[in-house]
Amino acid sequence: SKNIVIAIDGYSSCGKSTIAKALAKKLHFIYIDSGAMYRAVTLYFLRNNVDLNDHDAVTSALKNVHLNFHSRDYQSHITLNDEEVSEEIRQMPVSELVSDVSTLREVRVEMVRQQQRMGKSKNIIMDGRDIGTVVFPDADLKLFMTADPKVRAERRFKELMLKGEDVTMEEVFDNLAHRDYLDTTREESPLVRADDAIILDNTTIDQAQQLDFALARILPLL
């Protein structure tokens, strides 16, 4: 039988990765965090002072970026040129630049190519912004996640606090608003709900309810 692809898209900090990981664990699917890829590219660009307006510099820098996923316990561990960067890509310097890097066509073409290869013959769950629209337009199930911006910022702020990050609630809220703005208005594959994506608003529902919602739509496909 054909492999199954589940695409989860939505705004920043809507809990896409939380539900994707839970589903992957339950279904024994591979989870791929596409945002981690854009974040790792951004980290490389930051460290090497790549000028985002210089297309040649971006193209040649991309050739030196080698990403790999190592899935332990369905958490996504990503390496950048064999260095584990899973923690560093979540920190504010990367969060503040990643949506600018993600507007670049050269970057998107390369990420999409790698993502499509990962979904070729395996059962996967991939989350991001353009998974149901561009990466896997024929995905077996598409979810589009959304939640109240204040609730999202509070959740992300708590996460960062627990990790000991030195950040304010206002910075987190502004960063989410800024990324949503860039992600939805960019020219190159903007964040938009695919016509056949099912909306999942989790402002007021808990993780167990989200999981049930998704499983009810996935189990019939298996």
Question: Which residues line the annotated binding site for ATP?
Answer: 10-18
Residue 104 three-state SS: coil
Q: Does 10 bind ligand C5P (CB under 6 A)?
A: no
The reply to whether 34 sits near ligand C5P by the rule CB under 6 A is: yes
11 binds ligand C5P (CB under 6 A): no
**x-or-dash string of contact with ligand C5P, 110-139, rule CB under 6 A:** ------------------xxxx--------
The burial class, CB within 10 Å (0-12 / 13-18 / 19+), for 152 is buried
Among 86, 99, 133, 175, binds ligand C5P (CB under 6 A): 99
Q: Which two tokens stand for residue 185?
A: 């208005």
38 touches ligand C5P by CB under 6 A: yes
Distance of CA 195 to the CA centre of its chain: 20
Does residue 31 touch ligand C5P according to CB under 6 A? no
Longest dimension (CA), the chain: 49
Work out whether 39 is an interface residue with ligand C5P (CB under 6 A). yes
Using alpha carbons, select from 8, 9, 12, 5 the residue that is nearest to residue 153: 12
Q: Identify the residue among 58, 157, 179, 218 touching ligand C5P (CB under 6 A).
A: 179
Q: Nearest CA to 39 among 79, 82, 75?
A: 79
Write down the least CB distance from residue 78 to ligand C5P, Å: 11
